[in-house]
Structure 1
Amino acid sequence: MLFLQNPPTFLFFTGKGGVGKTSLSCASAIHLARQGKKILLVSTDPASNVGQVFSQEIGNKITAISTVAGLSALEIDPQQAAQQYRERIVGPVRGALPDDVVKGIEEQLSGACTTEIAAFDEFTALLTDATLIADYDHIIFDTAPTGHTIRLLQLPGAWSGFIEKNPEGASCLGPLAGLEKQRQRYAEAVKALSDPERTRLILVARAQKTTLDEVARTHEELAAIGLSRQNLVINGVLPESEAVHDALAAAIHRREQAAIANMPAVLRDLPLDQLPLKAFNLVGVEALSSLFSDRDEAAPVVVDAPAKPVGLPPLLMLVDEIAATGHGLIMMMGKGGVGKTTLAAAVAVALAERGLPVHLTTSDPAAHLTDTLAGSLDHLEVSRIDPQAETERYRQHVLVTKGKDLDAEGRAMLEEDLRSPCTEEIAVFQAFSRIIREAGKKFVVMDTAPTGHTLLLLDATGAYHREVTRHITDSHVHYTTPMMQLQDAARTKVMIVTLAETTPVLEAANLQEDLRRAGIEPWAWLINNSLSAAPTASPLLKQRAAFELTQIEAVRTRYAKRVALVPMQAEEPIGIEPLLALVEPRNGLGLGSAKPRKVAL
């Protein structure tokens, strides 16, 4: 493995959800520990499951892994860290300042950037603690800070001074006020990150165009701020030896190889490792130890699994139930890479085929919905909330109003504040709010951003009034929050999309709990890209299909009120007919097409 050759002190794994960052970081930690190295594995992933991977409780204190000599682990809960961080700033002034002032400070610290900065605050201690570093040969992180967070920490001006002068104008600079006294430590942390002798960044992707495109954007953003030592790992590649068994295996192999061959040019000069798809789930030390092997030593004996789990309907059954309501909001939610965009398009097309008016829209930053839906259909309107365009429009408005009297240093701070994920979500959410009003007269089908962004988007609904009023000076401007519509099961159907794999199901269950805390009850679960619903002769795919059954049963019995199974497709579902085939598949390979029934209006 090139990414593990002559490793520096710090290894950071980064990539979108579902590509295998946690598995790779855990396997790397085991690999290095078994070479006699002392390793600390640190997770800052909001959906961290390192504890589940090693089958022991870890938590936020350094804990020795009982099954691997020389390996210790630490889980940093970003939400808990953010809460503790907020209290460190607000606690000393609570009771000493008027309640409305304290509430204003809390509002400054309610955004997504507080969570990012709080997590960075936690592992900055690890990056700058000379004693701790001396105790370990390597410290491995299963996530990496975003370019925005690092740029914030590099701002030359006085964070607290800017906030004192602009108390209503900064969402991401507010959290920085609590860091002022530790500025030197943060400078050291950023320096360590950008030092190629001390830090290596491992970009993790799957052999899919969307994940490779996203990794390319991450590469360019982090390289631009000095994180130049980067490796690329493409994980879970179907071996060529499996492609000979049937049309499904051949199609998957062909699709993956095309994605690798056509990866963005900026990635081609990076050291590249490809890891083969394994026939088993990467949970437990034995399974993780074999990740870097070409053989599947940890795989149990293949058992013949049913071609399709008993009792699970196709997506058609849910579409029929939705169609009967005549109109409403349908939201696809789930982690990145599970197929929300494609399934949103499939549901929208199936409803439009029935003669029902449908508006299909996406706020997915990857924006490949228009590629997926290559065609037009009566009764179907397709639009995209362009995050970049909406954000730029919003940024210019704030700069013209709030930034007009700032000096150069203050304006630089405001401009970086406006580059934050919070800003994008506010801007996108304003556009989104306009569109969902249409759901009273037609179907509005939305795919949303990957899990972490989705939760922040929902948080934006709860904090919508606060965030909007921070940047709107005209008291006569009318604004509303759509939270009540999202909470109304009669008007909104939330469909959680997942894969029949351990981590995606776990993360989808966590998402469901987060939705419920926001007063939103998921209507159904969709298990996408199921191999157990797509008969195959490939031994590896057959084994993967057998392993799906446990997770499918967990979804059916423990998590979902309604569930539909969508089979793995031999070909990309691009165009009207292939999308309809997802709703009512005529065979397990997705090679046929279904013609849904029209319904009377």
Structure 2
Amino acid sequence: MIDKRKEEGPQGKQGPPAEAPLCLRPLLAGILHQKKKKRKKEKKKKRKKEKKKKRKKEKKKKRKKEKKKKRKKEKKKKRKKEKKKKRKNMKLAVYGKGGIGKSTVSCNLSIALARRGKKVLQIGCDPKHDSTFTLTGFLIPTIIDTLQAKDYHYEDIWPEDVIYKGYGGVSCVEAGGPPAGAGCGGYVVGETVKLLKELNAFYEYDVILFDVLGDVVCGGFAAPLNYADYCLIVTDNGFDALFAANRIGASIREKSRSHPLRCAGLIGNRSSQRDLIDKYVEHCPMPILEVLPLIEDIRISRVKAQTIFELAESNPELEEVCDFYLNIGDQILSGPEGVVPKELMDRELFSLLSDYYLNKTSQEETQNETDFLMV
């Protein structure tokens, strides 16, 4: 019997393996050699697999990069197309002395442009929010009112919350404004444009018309000029309105330095005569789009919360009055070159118009004297 305690250690553990007999050593060496070969083959296979994986990863990365490049190119193309679309629409800003009839002209002009097949959006920029009520028949809620109701969460506002359809298919928006004596009206106009852009509504229209409060008294009320392509100045045959028109011309000149803005021309409103308008245009060249006489039906249409086009449906005689606004619309749609006005100094304008009146009265007196002598 073999004593197992000799083979095991002191704690009963197995000792070092016994050496193989001489006859089995070549066989074991062959087995070890084959195992080494297998290991080498396995390592080669692993390396090949790893290389394949790396190649696949690299290909995926390349594909991703190519896809990203394609997406970027597509986005650039879309942006270019959007920019082209954006350039297509025409933006107008209507300015003039307070109470001169800008809102009346704006509403009737919007309908005239719509009659020519254009999709029109009129934006009232007066805190009184009464620019579009002759189109809609009522005072629509303002952008500021809607934002306050939604706690200024732009994502909760839909186009139908702020855009109302008026007569003739004209879309209407009222920017509104801050409370009386507080805030800036220009900031509200900027927020209105920002909201309409987020709603993708700003570029859906062929013509966008800004009806702006009063003449330019500060940079805030000049804000619509930052978005406009053309400015229309409403005036009459009086000194005050022409003085305001001159100030507006100065603001157009200032804005045109950083923005492709032009003055499309003057619109004479409620003017039975045009001698002072012609005198002003001689010294400050700009087109005269139209001179509307004092027409009682236009005033009545405002009181009835209707446009002259709507009244003309029941009274065909008023179609001649509608032709004034259609003529203005045709001139604007023809793409006028416009001008950058060279405004006159305040004292120069004052002396020009006052001297004209004084000379006119003196000429009339001399003519009366000569007529008396002839008699």
TM range (shorter): 0.3 to 0.5
In the superposition, the TM-score normalised over structure 2's length comes to: 0.47
Q: More helix per residue: 1 or 2?
A: 2
Higher CA-based Rg: 2
TM-score, length-normalised on structure 1? 0.30
